[in-house]
A and B are shown apart, each in its own frame.
Chain A
Amino acid sequence: MRWVVKFESLKMEINTPALEVHNLTASYNRKPVLWDIDFQLPQGQLIGIVGPNGSGKTTLLKSIMGLMEPDSGYVNLFGKKLDDVRERVSYVPQRESVDWDFPASVFEVVQMGRYRKSNLFRRMSTVDREITTRSLEKVNMLEYARRQISQLSGGQQQRVFIARSLAQQADIYLMDEPFVGVDAATEESILALLTEMKEQGKTVVIVHHDLQTAYEYFDWIVLLNTRLVAAGPKDEVFTSDLLQEAYGGRLTVLSRIGDLIAKKDFPLRESAFKEKEGRGDG
């Protein structure tokens, strides 16, 4: 019965955009990082926020999550203010944003996904612990539950963050670079998980810096370079004109990607990721 009701209410609001950003301008030290950003994203899609370094991708995510005060503009999630729908929104910060030497176990960190303003002073319930366990299972980290977080590899840390986010049981997930410092196999399994979430009607928004894989991974793409270049279904956004507008004159990369898209053929990224891993750990 509850499911039917839930389904009906879902149907009613299925046309509400999952995320609306209106005339958003944000700056660091008076230097604008985002300029008059305006777009809407549908529900139930896997969406990539793509743009060159320093194009304001992380700032956009932080502004959406209310972690940064924008200079102007506003953001709606499911047609409401963030405070009214907080329970439905989950945020995955960049992996590097925390100190992984913090004395905590994997389970304790993932359990934070169950923390609410309302249960801060209460013990975690059995349900909370069950959800935590299941979230760990989904990212294949259950066997590491008792391990200290400082002993994890980069890919494992990322999976812990994703599990913590899953434990929130939200409807929209905003993830900041979940594929950075992750080996190819883990990237594969994270992507499979995200696709599964999408199939369950969740909206997944991902800040992604790798243009090569963006087309392959996402249904929708937001192309950003301080200003909004384009936002829409990937085939509409991934045109050489728009890419050039976002990335400027770096044509060699762009034309290569254009060719790849034309051929619908993607090389294995093994070597590229090994390289990144090396740098990330240094």
Chain B
Amino acid sequence: MEALYIILTAFCIALSCGTLGSFLILRKMAMVGDAISHSVLPGIVIAFLISGSRNNIPMLIGAAVVGVLTTVLIELLHKKARLQEDASIGVTFTWLFAIGVILISAFTGQVDLDQECVLYGEIAYVPLDLIITESGISLGPRALWISGGMALLVLVFVRVGYKALVITTFNPDYAKALGISTLIWHFIFMGLVSLTTVISFESVGAILVVALLIAPPAAAYLLTGQLKKMLFYTSIISLLISVGGYALATWLNGSIAGAMATVAGILFAGAYAIYTLKLKGRGKPSLSKSSS
């Protein structure tokens, strides 16, 4: 049962991350997840200073707010200051992270508070934190419920907003010309990315989240030229990562998150191998600029 809880939680998180990650990659913002993982620190500290407790909920809210702020700042630097996207990401998250460090050293002194206590979760602990009703019936792990809800939200969002997401990603100027607000869609999307990232951090840890945001969609991108198939392959790969990663961790008796990230890397290598074989079969590279 514990294994099932862990695998299911990992799958829900992988599914949310991979689905959003597909669009992150296509928007050339793959490193945003990494940026958010650092930049949420001041949000956590401020939430702690305001609420005065190490309760998870205010800290999650603080982290999510700063996560969105990160994407706003990145966008602002990119659009208004005409800084390259990657440079904007680099400037923004290091700056926010530094503020968090200063806040910790200046104000929280004696309290044991750092990113780890909220963010660097350990997926092996998922089955320990159960929701138990007053009558004593266990409803399963809290993390599973949260990540399951998150996955549902993400899937509904992508299903409902599919056309808008596609057109604002592929050709934002054209979308604007049609009267579709690229800005609103960008911030809804990025808001969801930061929420997913922060919630996932809590249960599975930072490195695994970044791996799950990028590796599955990157592998799927190599396997197909259709976005719907890419999203489908991403979910299959997410499933393989959760199951395979758990199996690997059990076999090695090692870190589950580490094993899952490793499996993600192996699957990506596999996808790349398939991609190269396909290219050889076709005899013509399709990702390089085709000539007329």
Contact = CB atoms under 8 A, between A and B. Distances in A.
Contacts, number: 101
B22 to A, nearest CB: 9
B105 interface: no
Chain A interface extent, by class: 35 or more
A195 interface: no
A116 interface: yes
A29 interface: yes
Interface in A113-145: 115-117, 120-121
Interface stretch (A45-53, A83-91, A196-204, A232-240): A83-91
A117 B227 contact: no
Contact of A102 (B170, B178, B286, B291): B170
Given A104-B227, A120-B164, A150 B292 contact: no
Contacts of B225: 103-105, 148, 150-151
Interface string B201-226: 00000000000000000000100111
Contacts of A164: 174
B198 to A, nearest CB: 27
Contacts of A29: 82
Contacts of B230: 103
B171 A98 contact: yes
B167 A112 contact: yes
A93 interface: yes
Interface residues of B, number: 33
A93 B230 CA distance: 26
A24 to B, nearest CB: 17
Given A103-B226, A103-B227, A104-B226, A151 B174 contact: no
27 contacts: A29-B82, A62-B173, A66-B176, A67-B173, A67-B176, A89-B177, A90-B177, A93-B173, A97-B173, A99-B26, A102-B170, A102-B227, A103-B229, A104-B166, A104-B225, A104-B227, A105-B226, A108-B166, A112-B166, A112-B167, A112-B171, A116-B179, A121-B160, A154-B292, A155-B292, A181-B292, A281-B291
